[in-house]
Structure 1
Amino acid sequence: MKYVTAVWQDHGFFLDPRAYLDELPRFSARLPPGARAFACAPGHYDIPAATRCVKDLELAGIRPATDKSGVLVLEFAPNRWKHDEGLRIGYSGVRHFSVDHHRAIDWMRVDTVLLDEILPDGDGGCTHEIALTDASITVRCDDLEAVWCAPALT
């Protein structure tokens, strides 16, 4: 990520969104509407907050389109100690999608969100990077829609 810091240090993660939050007012108008609404949403980077901060959400599903529509959906379950709702992010006009595994934290049951960063893309869309405990997700797309929702009953 360019501005957000999410790195392993000694025995835990060091997370700092302040540089991103300082820059966000300078480029938010260049983000597509859905991406701008999500990036600028109150509480998005409020780590101690329990309701709308992405920190600690659990990666629950990745649903790429089975056709050439350019649609992708990422689903995140609520962390039972922090969130009342999960998060579903739908991407439109996806031009790039990758999941890169880069650490070996084998004591965690699921990958959880550390922090994310949404930046304007040169093609008029945006790039959304999500740092997870054991991987990172990168999506380049036309826009995204993030919806907080009650977890599905199993």
Structure 2
Amino acid sequence: MGVPIQVTFDAAHPPTLGAFWAQALGYVEDAPPPGFATWEEALDAMGVPLDQRDSAYAVVDPDGVGPRLWFQKVPEAKSAKNRVHLDVNAAAALPREERPAAVRVRAAELEALGATRVREMEENGGFWIVMLDPEGNEFCVQ
């Protein structure tokens, strides 16, 4: 049995946003239902029309430790600040003085995947970078 939690994202294009987060977190696409070799095969069998096949997407931690991430298509654009966000941990195991450089490197990698850097923060001995995913959801790299 997997982790008993799922984090759900509203999205304009679930497969694209899901692919970003899979790369950002080292996750993989969720496997198709038992008895199906691919999602296309499963969706064909379920009778899902071609124009609706991008309505949802899920990624999972390949080690089964982290939560499943579910991306669901919604018609409206994001309009306000997130009340919950993910933190990408890039430097926790490093000595404090090495963390800012490691965080900046990871932030640059995420920018190459489509994220946007908003600002760097330093407070109470901590350092992190606030970013936006490709659909404008806030997250931090720390």
TM normalised by structure 1 equals: 0.24
Q: Which has the higher strand share?
A: 1
Query: TM-score, with normalisation over the residues of structure 2?
Result: 0.26
Structure with more of its chain in helix, by fraction:
2
Larger Rg: 2
